[in-house]
Amino acid sequence: MPSPAATLRFLAAEGASRILGNTLLTLARSTAGFLLGLAAAAALGYLYTLHWAAREAVRALNTLLQSVSVLVWIIVFLILFGIYSPLPPVLVSAAVSLPILLSSIVAGLESSSRGLVELAAVLGAPRWRLYPDFLLPSLLPQLAGAARAALGAALRISVVAEAMGASGGIGYMIENYYSLAEPVGVFAWGLLLVALMVFLDQLVLARLERWVKEWATLPRR
Amino acid sequence: MGDAPPAVEARCLSKRYGGRTVLDCVSLEAGRGELVAVVGPNGAGKSTLLRILAGLEEPDGGSLRAEKPLGLVFQENMLLPWRSLRDNIAMGLRYRRLPRGEAEERVRRAAELLGIADYLDRRPGEVSGGTARKAAVARMLVLEPRVLLLDEPLAGLDAASRRSLLEALRRIADGGRAVILVDHSLADVAAVADRVYVLSPPPGRVAAVLDLAALPPGERAKRLAEAMLRLAR
């Protein structure tokens, strides 16, 4: 078992460019996957508001997405695109983000006040503007919390996908040192991943969530 | 009201939810330039009546004729917190594709009428509850409805804000619109209303109609006190 000091020394010896390059690659993949999941969830939310049949289809899809194991997604995308493709980590991140975000949107739409729908009608908003102008903005405070959870999950899962088949990134480095039987390397890159997640969650996402909630919520008088 | 047909004419409206009668043959009229108030206790069907007048619900019985367009100010302001009052007020105008200058002019006129012109660039969280409520009224007013309906617009406001809003509603009615508001408090609305319909406890029926239009303030208070005494018996 490598000591903490040995782990830190190993990490320092890896060099800034190698650490930065692989970290940014993992971040880019997980963020791209998250944004893909967010766009898909927002689009499915729009479909949900259009017709009862679409609503039932979105509900069923949400249940299906929640029940599929991450491992299944990783294997499917690796089979489809190959281990050297940059797509599997991105798509796996999207597949993990999507049900978290979609569940939040669907729950929000199901509990959203009838008042907003009636306000839109009284203001003369066409039906296709109801979702983007009234319903989606009203969901932003709770969606911000879901987005924080989804981006964290996307990062964790993209690392797993990188470990199983990718040509770079934190997950790739962990797998690489595991194959070379160098536990200090596994620990060093694992430590980096933990530090990155804590930094992202506490210093970036938590603040972003707070800001969105303040921005989109009226203060109580 | 003169000889002109009323802007809103409801005859013997009734509404049931399941086996429960909420409105029982309620009739009501409001002419152009009139401010009409509907007051009554909780559960008397005031909001249901307003929703029927607005076309959001169908009555189970009776007839209704109302001039269009018709604006409804909801009990909750439902202003978008991240938009300025100006943008909130102009929201309905976006769907009417008005020229920008005309839209801005309508917002300015409505804000001045309601006394909130100085707050247009602030967000709803940065203004008082009374100003936010007036912004919600202005959002409907810019659509230039012939009939303006308000669901408990005075709820949650302090005395000064209530008085200020009622005076603004009086000015809106004086501008030629029919204004109908529902509220709990007979005392608040009697000061400015031309006519007050008092609904009975559930199921809501018209228990009294007070015509106050031509009465001086002192006489209004007397008529109000008499009506309240009658209802209390």
Q: What was the ipTM of the complex prediction?
A: 0.83
Of residues A115, A121, A125, nearest to B78 (C-beta) = A115
Within an 8 Å CB–CB cutoff, is residue B76 touching chain A?
Answer: yes
Across residues A101-122, what is the average pLDDT? 89
The alpha carbon dihedral of A128, B133, A115, A113 has a sign of: positive
- The pLDDT, as a whole number, for residue B155 is 86
Of residues B74, B79, B125, nearest to A115 (C-beta) = B74
Is there a cis peptide before residue B201, judged by omega within 30 degrees of 0? no
* A chain contacts of residue B54, beta-carbon cutoff 8 Å: 122
- The pLDDT, as a whole number, for residue A64 is 92
CB B25 within 8 A of CB B68: no
In a domain, A129, yes or no: yes
The three-class DSSP label of residue B91 is helix
List, in order, residues 6 or more apart from B183 with CB less than 8 Å away. Answer: B37, B38, B39, B46, B152, B153, B154, B155, B189
Cα–Cα distance, B233 to B219 (Å, whole number): 21
Token pair recorded at residue B62:
């009776």
Which pLDDT band, with edges at 50, 70 and 90, does A221 fall under? very low
The three-class DSSP label of residue B83 is coil
Least confident piece of the model among A133-142, B27-36, B220-229: B220-229
Strands B195-199 and B206-211: antiparallel
Taking an 8 Å cut-off on Cβ atoms, the answer to whether B54 and A126 are in contact is: no
Query: CA of B81 to nearest chain A CA: how many angstroms apart?
Result: 6
Cα–Cα distance, A98 to A66 (Å, whole number): 9
Which 76-105 residues of chain A touch chain B by CB within 8 A?
none
DSSP string covering chain A, please? Answer: ---HHHHHHHHHHH-HHHHHHHHHHHHHHHHHHHHHHHHHHHHHHHHHHH-HHHHHHHHHHHHHHHHS-HHHHHHHHHHHH-TT-SHHHHHHHHHHHHHHHHHHHHHHHHHS-HHHHHHHHHTT--HHHHIIIIIHHHHHHHHHHHHHHHHHHHHHHHHHHHHHS-SSSHHHHHHHHHHTT-HHHHHHHHHHHHHHHHIIIIIIIHHHHHHHHHHHSPPP-
Tell me which residue range forms the domain holding A167.
4-216
Q: How many CB pairs under 8 A join A and B?
A: 44
CATH 3.40.50.300 segments of chain B: 1-68+146-233
What is the CATH number that goes with domain B1-68+146-233?
A: 3.40.50.300
Judged against a pLDDT cut of 90, whether residue B179 lies above it is answered with yes
- The pLDDT, as a whole number, for residue B174 is 93
Query: CA of A112 to nearest chain B CA: how many angstroms apart?
Result: 12
Query: CA of B28 to nearest chain A CA: how many angstroms apart?
Result: 22
Judged against a pLDDT cut of 80, whether residue B227 lies above it is answered with no
CB B161 within 8 A of CB B128: yes
Q: Which of A114, A123, A127, A221 to mutate against chain B (most B CBs within 10 Å)?
A: A123
CA dihedral A82, A83, A85, A88 (to 10 degrees): 90
What percent of chain B shows pLDDT beyond 70?
96
Task: Categorise residue B176: left if φ over 0, alpha if ψ from -120 to 50, beta otherwise.
Answer: left
Within an 8 Å CB–CB cutoff, is residue B91 touching chain A?
Answer: yes
What 8-state DSSP symbol labels residue B5? P
Cα–Cα distance, A25 to A16 (Å, whole number): 14
* B chain contacts of residue A219, beta-carbon cutoff 8 Å: 125
The CA–CA distances, whole Å, from A114 to A109, A119, A130, B91, B93 equal 10, 9, 12, 18, 22
Judged against a pLDDT cut of 60, whether residue B1 lies above it is answered with no
Taking an 8 Å cut-off on Cβ atoms, the answer to whether A137 and B92 are in contact is: no
Q: A72-92 pLDDT, tens per residue? A: 999 999 899 988 888 999 999
Domain count, chain A: 1
Mean pLDDT, chain B, whole residue set = 89
Cα–Cα distance, B82 to B80 (Å, whole number): 6
CB A151 within 8 A of CB A205: yes
The CA–CA distances, whole Å, from A83 to A16, A76, A77, A164 equal 26, 11, 9, 8
Cα–Cα distance, B172 to B153 (Å, whole number): 14
pTM of the model: 0.80
Within an 8 Å CB–CB cutoff, is residue A71 touching chain B?
Answer: no
Within an 8 Å CB–CB cutoff, is residue A118 touching chain B?
Answer: yes
Judged against a pLDDT cut of 80, whether residue A57 lies above it is answered with yes
Q: A165-177 pLDDT, tens per residue? A: 778 899 999 999 9
- The pLDDT, as a whole number, for residue B228 is 66
- The pLDDT, as a whole number, for residue A219 is 57
Within an 8 Å CB–CB cutoff, is residue A220 touching chain B?
Answer: no
Of residues B76, B91, B125, nearest to A123 (C-beta) = B91
* B chain contacts of residue A141, beta-carbon cutoff 8 Å: none
Across residues B85-101, what is the average pLDDT? 92
Across residues A109-129, what is the average pLDDT? 87
Q: CATH number of the domain that A187 lies in? A: 1.10.3720.10
In a domain, A221, yes or no: no
- The pLDDT, as a whole number, for residue B201 is 85
Q: Which of B47, B53, B70, B80 to mutate against chain A (most A CBs within 10 Å)?
A: B80
Which 6-65 residues of chain A touch chain B by CB within 8 A?
none
